Structure 1
């Protein structure tokens, strides 16, 4: 029997339909010589510390570090029934085709099962980029060998074991240190979550320490020979401006105002025009999609991922969502006509727009050299039903569709002109933009540059050196420097991805320039959600802020644990394992040694953790502690288990 092992039931049904496996079995679909079964995500999990010895059931500094000599996995209680089904099917299979998600985690989901069930038959790999019928048939015709993707399994195991070593050991360590300081809840530390939390803590610190200072702007309204008026800004002398070019002396700005007003004319002393071309933005990877959906639609990172997953799995409308790549294989250019046909069948209202698009235009997106295991998120070649999408699903889909269509539109072309003028003894500057070809910006406008001040996008009149312009009006504006803005989920995703910008060491910065950053496309949303659920991150509308406990935790943990650069280096090590240049055992041994040293150095620390003021227990009147349950955080009596009083988290909260 040939057994296809999928990651989710929906995925299994899609593949079974193409294979003709239509007879329902217990937890599977059966064909003539083929059976399709599925996991329910991860059926297995790394065993907890107590599985390695009863002494670990009690948290104690004396028992740290916990370093398993032989790693164990356990079947999740909720998935025991499906595990038994898969184990039985594996005992009858002669060939297994791994058909889980085409990524590191998908590889581990399948390979751990094969290993635990002692499967020894042949193995092949189905590598899918979309779940529509055409993509499945194409992937079935070019199955990968088992060895080609096996390193992904070791890379995922390395990630899992490193996370376990850091999470289990350091969470116990800092929780125990917190208890000494009177904090009753768990202080959770993680390889990815703690550096992510530090990003928010540092932004909060920058906002808290920011001191606003006044500055002054002088704008002159000019005109030339009856042509369209324009605005020029005063350039303060070098002795009277800060690094950003702002004038910090009101008297100096007032003098300039008086001089420009009295002069009545300004003379053009220099003029420079450059022709610029902006290529269309590339198709989305997941991080960029999350950033744009946060900014444009107000969606959280996890919300965006869930919607992208639904567009891929449920609607078959878009390709694999957890991609870290924004480029497309050159061979997929042959599918352009099929994609356009599907788009038109889905939405006939697109016909006028598609009529102005050149399908033969090949943008920079088509580049085999830059395609990773996955390609950019794009529409599929089969029409989906827009009417079955929710409003948010349709909005996200339309963003993905627009970024694909933009690849077939011309560059946005414009002339940028910078003029410098002299007025009395003062200098003025004006910047103008003359659009020559609207190009892709007629379809979408997605870049931060589109929010540029109107003075930089104004159209200047025809000017030349020596031309005199009339001073029609002059205004003095009193301004204040603004504090940095709180991070949104989209901002945090971007910071996690582009961690190299946050590293000061030039050698490390260079190494990290092309890294995946903190976490992966598949995990970043979950990390942020976990920090919110634990109460480390507080969300006010779109803004994220760190709780007082989070600030204390970041101050207490060793710098390396919270260092975004170090975490990204670990991610690079996982890539080395995936490439076969570093062994799983060597990586885990280094992590174990590092953890041992950290615990030896931190065991004597004294924490000062602010205790969140919760409500009073309704049963015994004792104070209550914030705890995390299966359905999220809640207030629990500090006398638990003697008293089992609880209160919903929405009641009695007094944030520190």
Structure 2
């Protein structure tokens, strides 16, 4: 019997249908010579510290570090019944096809079961990019050898063991140090979560330390041959800051007087440059999460759940946890089938299809840039829009539009930069003339840094020496603005592009702007975990770090919270996958590093973190836990200016 081992029941049903395995069994579907079964995510988990010794049941600095000599896994109690099913089927199987998700974690879900159940037979790998029937049949006709993806398993094990070593040891260490300082909460530390938290803490600090500075702009309304346009005054170099802003009001007022008395402005120079913007590529998961956060207000976990539903339930789009935005050149042959499916799904697209050029071969078709997965695109089978929720449909339409944009021309425009002189003062203006709307007629993406007040001006009547009438001069009083709080989409982008935040030139070079914190599959879960544990507070779309989070980031060694170092660890996992680094060498290095940290940090004294409380009913800011004669209570963090209090119910007090 050949056994297909899937990741989820829905995935198992889709594959079983194609294989003709339709008879229901206990936790499986049975065919003539084939059986399909499934996990329910991870059926196994790395054993807890107490499994390695009774002494680890209690938390003590004397018992740290905890470094297993022989790693153990345990069956999750909630899914023990399905584990028994798989164990029995593996004992009967003559061959196994791993059909879990085509990624690092999917490989681990299957391989850890094979190892625990001591399966020693032949193994093949089904590598799926979509769960529609055509994609399943295509993948079944080109099964990979088990050896081809085996190192993915070692990469996942390395990730799992490194996470365990850091999480179990450092969470106990800093929680115990916190208790020594009088804090009775848990200070959780994670290999990925702590550097992610650091990104938000750093932004909070930048906002808190920001000092707003006034500056002044002079806007000049001009016209030439009846065409009005707006120019901006250029302050002299001696009167501007590094961003080119005028910080002296008197200087701006003097400029207004000179310009007003000048009556006309003369064009000194004029330079026009043509730009061609290619259509944006299809989405990878991080970019989809970022765009859905910005445009639709969706959380990153919400976006992942929707993308997973579009893939699994609706069969409308391809594998969502992709880290790639390109498509294999062979998939260009599937364009007619995708188009037909899209039209059957939504006949209202007919006018749009009349503008598409199916022969266009955009930059998206590039074998050299395709990783284990390709960009997220529509499948070759029609979907049912009526069965989608409103949010599912919105995300689906974003994915669809980015695919269709590949068959529209580049967006082309002329950008004109003009310098003028008036009353001895220099002015500048920018104009833009769209020549070919191209893909922007279907999908608007802000892909260039336009000047907000001048981006839509057309300046084709201007030439060098042209005299322009001064119609009005306006002084604008401005203030520099603090950085904005991060949203979930911003945080996903920062996690992915962490190299931009790394100061060490050697690390920056090594990262090459490609490696980030976490993976496409894990980033949403990391952010959700930080929110669920109270480290991140969410107000509308903005994320802020709690007081405990600030204390933790201040206390942990720099390397533990360094986004650049975490990205290097992720790169090491890629090295394991490529066979250039062994699992044992990586874990040994991590264990040694943990032992050094425990020894170094054991004598630290932590500042007691302030527990994040409810919002003050008077002034709408976060409250802090305080002790009074009658016990603890919540007090406004603006005390004594605000004396708002909220009682703490007995059943919520910490013992």
Give TM-score scaled by structure 1 length. 0.94
Structure 2 partner of 1:456: 455
Structure 2 partner of 1:469: 468
- Per-residue CA deviation, residues 623-654 of structure 1 (Å, 9 max, x unaligned), is 599xxxxxxxxxxx99xxxxx963499xxxxx
How far apart, in 2, do the equivalents of 1:89 and 1:500 lie? Answer: 46
Task: Figure out how many residues of one structure are paired with residues of the other and give that number.
Answer: 630
Alignment of 1:531 onto 2:530:
yes
Structure 1 partner of 2:588: 589
Structure 1 partner of 2:114: 114
Instruction: Describe how 1:356-371 pairs up with structure 2 within 5 A.
Output: 356-371=355-370
How far apart, in 2, do the equivalents of 1:356 and 1:222 lie? Answer: 39
The DSSP-based 3-state class of the residue aligned with 2:311 is helix
Deviation at 1:313, TM superposition (A): 0.2
CA 1:450–1:505: 2 relative to 1, 3 Å: closer
How far apart, in 1, do the equivalents of 2:253 and 2:446 lie? Answer: 36
How far apart, in 1, do the equivalents of 2:447 and 2:550 lie? Answer: 31
How far apart, in 2, do the equivalents of 1:408 and 1:192 lie? Answer: 39
Structure 2 partner of 1:265: 264
User: 1:343–1:383: 8 Å Cα contact kept in structure 2?
Assistant: yes
Structure 2 partner of 1:631: none
The DSSP-based 3-state class of the residue aligned with 1:600 is helix
Structure 1 partner of 2:576: 577
Instruction: Describe how 1:145-184 pairs up with structure 2 within 5 A.
Output: 145-184=145-184
Structure 2 partner of 1:45: 45
Instruction: Describe how 1:11-410 pairs up with structure 2 within 5 A.
Output: 11-226=11-226, 228-410=227-409
How far apart, in 2, do the equivalents of 1:189 and 1:325 lie? Answer: 30
Deviation at 1:225, TM superposition (A): 1.9
User: 1:125–1:149: 8 Å Cα contact kept in structure 2?
Assistant: yes
User: 2:498–2:513: 8 Å Cα contact kept in structure 1?
Assistant: no
- Per-residue CA deviation, residues 225-273 of structure 1 (Å, 9 max, x unaligned), is 22x2000000000000011100000000000000001101000000000
Deviation at 1:181, TM superposition (A): 1.3
Instruction: Describe how 1:601-620 pairs up with structure 2 within 5 A.
Output: 601-612=600-611
**What is the aligned-residue RMSD (CA, Å)?**
1.9
How far apart, in 1, do the equivalents of 2:498 and 2:610 lie? Answer: 32
How far apart, in 2, do the equivalents of 1:326 and 1:552 lie? Answer: 38
How far apart, in 1, do the equivalents of 2:575 and 2:200 lie? Answer: 29
The DSSP-based 3-state class of the residue aligned with 1:460 is coil
Deviation at 1:424, TM superposition (A): 1.4
Structure 1 partner of 2:643: none
How far apart, in 2, do the equivalents of 1:648 and 1:57 lie? Answer: 24
How far apart, in 1, do the equivalents of 2:424 and 2:612 lie? Answer: 62
How far apart, in 2, do the equivalents of 1:69 and 1:353 lie? Answer: 62
Deviation at 1:462, TM superposition (A): 1.3
CA 1:624–1:481: 2 relative to 1, 3 Å: closer
How far apart, in 1, do the equivalents of 2:525 and 2:256 lie? Answer: 54
- Per-residue CA deviation, residues 139-182 of structure 1 (Å, 9 max, x unaligned), is 00000001100000000000000000000000000000011111
Alignment of 1:646 onto 2:651:
yes
In the alignment, structure 2 segments of 5+ residues that lack a partner are: 615-624, 635-646
Deviation at 1:559, TM superposition (A): 0.1
- Per-residue CA deviation, residues 515-572 of structure 1 (Å, 9 max, x unaligned), is 3300000000000000001100000000000001100100000000000000000000
CA 1:622–1:614: 2 relative to 1, 3 Å: farther
Alignment of 1:4 onto 2:9:
no
User: 1:614–1:624: 8 Å Cα contact kept in structure 2?
Assistant: no
Instruction: Describe how 1:560-575 pairs up with structure 2 within 5 A.
Output: 560-575=559-574
CA 1:624–1:135: 2 relative to 1, 3 Å: farther
How far apart, in 2, do the equivalents of 1:474 and 1:605 lie? Answer: 61
In the alignment, structure 1 segments of 5+ residues that lack a partner are: 626-636, 639-643, 650-656
How far apart, in 1, do the equivalents of 2:56 and 2:119 lie? Answer: 32
Deviation at 1:449, TM superposition (A): 3.8
- Per-residue CA deviation, residues 3-22 of structure 1 (Å, 9 max, x unaligned), is 00000000000000000000
CA 1:614–1:200: 2 relative to 1, 3 Å: closer
Instruction: Describe how 1:429-444 pairs up with structure 2 within 5 A.
Output: 429-444=428-443
Deviation at 1:461, TM superposition (A): 4.0
How far apart, in 2, do the equivalents of 1:613 and 1:541 lie? Answer: 17
